[in-house]
Each structure stands twice: as structure tokens, then as C-alpha cells.
């Protein structure tokens, strides 16, 4: 099955070049292209592409604004002339960050990485669904997990975890005093944690509500959760309903 994709860039020459790169690739199916952020939000939610090629600087809405507004969450490869947004892009769990002028070989590498990630996560989803069928009403969740740091394994009480962040194929686990890197994906860790305490607010973020200080609502309908330690995370619309359930 081909990986469906969408081009989002305000420059026609950039869109033409991306289309030229995509057309000979048997693994990709181009659904459409957009020149504005508002148009991109509408088409992403309607067409639900597996992958988007996203520019950062566009009139009206930036690429990051687009990601904050969408309900459907595709894999993202940024294509931009600006290198200063790379860190923020990877904080959004981007697959890759390609600088213009685009190189075709580098483009193919990024696409291959995205397809590999999709296949791996699709496999994890099948595993998760299989587990859900076997255990429909799990009531007991792990109270401790073993996490590695240097050459040691630490016995970490789950209640001490403040938040978890996806980082590529790994997960960064943060407590009040330390951080640990788990080789398990964030979806796998979500399975073993009590959903009444650990809430998914984004495809790349899970927070412990016991350490959640406040929720900030934006004029455009978006939300941001603010933790007691000062860290903030955007809430994607896909997971916003879990937050709203707790509003009285």
C-alpha cells in the first residue's frame, strides 16, 4: 500500500520541485498540494494523508500553527529555507527537517525514514489492538518500571513520572529530579500506565495529571497544558476530548 502525502508550501517553485521528486517514487501517492496554512488544515483533516511535506514560513499561518490546528496527525517532514526552527520541529516529533534548496537523495532518505516509522508504528498498533482484545477491562497497572541510565537499571515508581515525550523511536521519561531514555515507544509505555492518571495530550506527549498545574485555552480553540515544573505542551485536537472530560 502506498503512503499518501500532501505538499504544503506557499512557493509554487517549491511545490513543483516536491511534486517532481514524488512522482517517480512508487512508495508515495500525492493527494494534493496547498499554498496556505488555512487550506492545509482543511485538507489534512479531510484527506487524512499519512505524510505531509510542510514549509515553516507561510503567510497567515506558520507550519507550526498548522500542526497545532489539525485533528488528523500525519507524519511530518519539514521543507524550509530556515535552519533556526529545527529544534522546534523535532520537538513536534517531525520525521526530518530538510533545508532548501532541496536535494533529491536527501529527500528520498527522509521519505524512507517516514515509511519505516509508519510500518513500525502500524505494527505496534496491531499489537496494541490484539492486547486490547485479550484484556478488555484492565484495572491493574504497573506501579514501578525499570529504566536504564549508564550501566544501571533504576527501579522507578510510575507515580514519580511527570511526563513522557516521544523522541524518534525512543521515549524520554521525566521526573522531578531526573530524565531517562527508554527504548520503548511512547505507545507501548502508555499501555502500562493508568489512563486516569496519565493522559495523552499529543501523539508525542503523555502527562501525569497529578503534576498538571493549569490548562490555557487559546482564542483559536487550541489548548496548552502547563505542568508544575513550568514545562508546557500543546494539546492536539485528537486528544483534547480527554481533557474536556475532566472539566466540570
Q: How confident is the model at residue 219 (pLDDT cuts 50, 70, 90)?
A: low
pLDDT at 137: 46
Cα gap 192→85, rounded to integer Å: 34
Name the pairing type of β-strands 51-54 and 75-80: parallel
Please report the pLDDT score of residue 153 as a whole number.
Answer: 86
Q: How do residues 40-86 score in pLDDT, each as one tens digit?
A: 999 999 999 999 999 999 988 999 999 988 888 899 999 999 889 88
The single-letter DSSP state of residue 185 is -
Domains and their CATH numbers in the chain: 3-131 (3.40.50.2300), 144-244 (2.40.50.1020)
226-244: b or e for each residue (b if 16 or more CB lie within 10 Å)?
A: ebeeebebbbbbebbeebe
Weakest mean pLDDT among 46-55, 60-69, 143-152, 214-223: 214-223
pLDDT exceeds 70 at position 130: no
Question: What pLDDT, on the 0 to 100 scale, is given for residue 169?
Answer: 82
Asked whether residue 136 carries a pLDDT value surpassing 50, the answer given is no
Closest to 51 (Cα-Cα) out of 15, 19, 18, 75: 75
Amino acid at each position: 500500500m502506498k503512503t499518501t502525502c500532501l505538499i504544503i508550501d506557499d512557493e509554487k517553485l517549491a511545490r513543483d520541485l516536491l511534486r517532481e521528486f514524488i512522482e517517480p517514487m512508487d512508495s508515495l501517492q500525492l493527494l494534493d498540494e496547498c499554498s496556505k496554512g488555512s487550506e492545509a488544515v482543511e485538507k489534512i483533516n479531510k484527506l487524512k494523508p499519512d505524510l505531509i511535506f510542510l514549509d515553516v514560513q507561510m503567510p497567515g499561518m506558520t507550519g507550526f500553527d498548522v500542526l497545532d490546528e489539525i485533528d488528523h496527525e500525519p507524519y511530518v517532514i519539514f521543507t524550509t529555507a530556515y535552519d533556526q526552527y529545527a529544534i522546534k520541529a523535532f520537538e513536534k516529533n517531525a520525521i526530518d527537517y530538510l533545508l532548501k534548496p532541496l536535494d533529491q537523495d536527501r529527500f528520498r532518505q527522509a521519505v524512507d525514514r517516514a515509511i519505516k516509522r509508519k510500518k513500525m508504528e502500524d505494527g505496534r498498533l496491531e499489537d496494541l489492538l490484539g492486547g486490547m482484545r485479550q484484556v478488555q477491562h484492565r484495572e491493574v497497572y504497573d506501579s514501578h518500571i525499570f529504566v536504564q541510565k549508564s550501566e544501571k537499571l533504576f527501579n522507578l515508581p510510575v507515580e514519580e513520572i511527570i511526563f513522557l515525550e516521544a523522541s524518534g523511536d525512543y521515549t524520554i521519561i521525566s521526573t522531578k529530579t531526573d530524565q531517562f531514555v527508554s527504548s520503548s515507544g511512547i505507545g507501548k509505555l502508555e499501555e502500562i500506565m493508568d489512563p486516569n492518571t496519565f493522559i495523552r495530550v499529543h501523539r508525542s506527549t503523555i502527562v501525569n495529571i497529578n503534576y498538571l498545574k493549569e490548562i490555557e485555552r487559546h482564542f483559536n480553540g487550541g489548548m496548552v497544558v502547563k505542568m508544575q515544573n513550568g514545562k508546557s505542551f500543546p494539546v492536539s485536537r485528537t486528544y483534547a476530548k480527554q481533557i474536556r472530560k475532566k472539566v466540570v
